[in-house]
Amino acid sequence: MSVSLPAGFTSWRFLVLPLAALSASDTPTVLLNTFWSREPGCDSGFGNLLARQLDLRGLRVLAACLTEKGAEQLRNQTSDRLQTVILDVTKTDSVAAATEWVKERVGDRDYLSGVPSSLSESLAFLLLCEQGLWGLVNNAGISTPTAPNEWLTKQDFVKILDVNLLGVIDVTLSVLPLVRKARGRVVNVSSIMGRVALLGGGYCMSKYGVEAFSDSLRRELSYFGVKVVMIEPGYFKTTVTSPKALSQGFQASWNQASPEIKELYGEKFMANLMKSVDLLETTSCQDLSLVTNCMEHALTACHPRTRYSPGWDAKFIYLPMSYLPSFLVDLMVYWRNPRPAKAL
C-alpha cells in the first residue's frame, strides 16, 4: 500500500503509521462527521474534503452526514472504502443509532464500549488503530448568530458554544482513554478568530475556549506521549463564511434588537455590516486543501506543529495583530469598523 504526500511535505516528517505493513482488514478506520449546514446537499467544507482526501490515501472512512443528499454525493466521489450514515447530532436517538452503526463496522472492542452516545456531539474525526485510537480531529463549527453583542440574547451565545466548544470538550473527554492508549493525536480545529476577537457573539468566544482547552490538554497529555494540535484557519469559502448565512444572521439579530439599540446604531450601521459580508466573500480563500493538508499532517507527521495557521490573511494580518499591544488593535478596529449613529 502506498501513500502519496501533499506538496511540500517530506517523507521523513510525514509518515508515522506503518501503513505498508497493514492488511486490508487492518487498514486504519476514519469516522468523519461532516454535519452542520441544514441546506440539502451541503455536507461540505473541510470535513467533506478531508473525507475524500483520506479515502485517496487508502484509509477506510466512515462519514456521518446530516442529509441523505450530501451522503450520496460523498459516496459518488469516493471508493467503496467510504461508508456513510445519516446523523443529526441535536437528536439523542440519532446519535445513539449512529454510534451503534459505527461499532458494527469497526468491531465492538472492549475499549470502545465505554464511549457514550455523545461521541458524535460535534464534528469529529476518529482514527482507529489496533492499539487504541490514533487520532481525534474535532472540526465543529457554526458561525451564526454573529452581530454586535448588544443585539444578541443569551441563547444566541449558547447555540454556538454548544457546538463549537462544549461539543469539542465532550467528544475529547469521551475518547481520550483510547487516544492515550495509542499515544496518538488530538487535533482541534479552532480559528484565527481564537487569537483576535474582532466579532461579537459566541464565535470568537468559542474559539478562544478551544484554544485554552487545547493548550491545557496538550500540557497534561505530554506526560503520556499524546500530542495535541490546533488548526487556526483564516477566512475560507465554506458554509461557515457563507454570505447568505451571515447576512441572514445580521438581519435576524437586528430585528430582535430593542428600539433603543436600533436608535443607537442606526440603519446606516446595519447597511455597512451587510457590505462587509460582500467584502468577506471576495477576500476568502477558495483552496480548502490548505486546511485539510494541515489536518492530515497534524495526524501523521512524526513531529507535528503545535499550531497551524493556513490562509494568507491568518499569516499576514491576524497573527501579527495578535502580537500587538491591545490598545493598537483597539485603534485599528475602531477606525476600520462602521461607526454607530450615536457614537461620541
Cα gap 4→53, rounded to integer Å = 11
Helix (H) or strand (E) holding 340: none
Name the nearest CA neighbour of 343 among 144, 145, 146, 148.
148
User: How many CA atoms are closer than 13 Å to the CA of 217, on its beta-carbon side?
Assistant: 23
Q: Are 34 and 51 in contact (CB under 8 A)?
A: yes
Q: What Cα–Cα distance (Å) separates residue 49 from each residue in 2, 11, 168, 288? A: 20, 22, 20, 8
Cα gap 203→147, rounded to integer Å = 10
Q: What Cα–Cα distance (Å) separates residue 94 from each residue in 76, 85, 99, 140? A: 24, 10, 9, 17
Beta bridge partner(s), residue 59 = none
Cα gap 239→37, rounded to integer Å = 7
Q: Are 186 and 180 in contact (CB under 8 A)?
A: no
Our answer to whether residue 111 is catalytic in this structure is no
Q: Are 294 and 310 in contact (CB under 8 A)?
A: yes
Q: Which one-letter DSSP state was computed for residue 317?
A: I
Q: Helices H, strands E: what count in the chain? A: 13, 8
Q: Cα angle at 202 between 266 and 327, to 5 degrees?
A: 70
Residue of 203, 235, 265, 308 with catalytic role: 203
Reduce the DSSP state of residue 57 to 3 states and report it: coil
Classify residue 163 by burial, with Cβ atoms within 10 Å: 0-12, 13-18, 19+: buried
Which residues participate in catalysis according to the annotation? 203
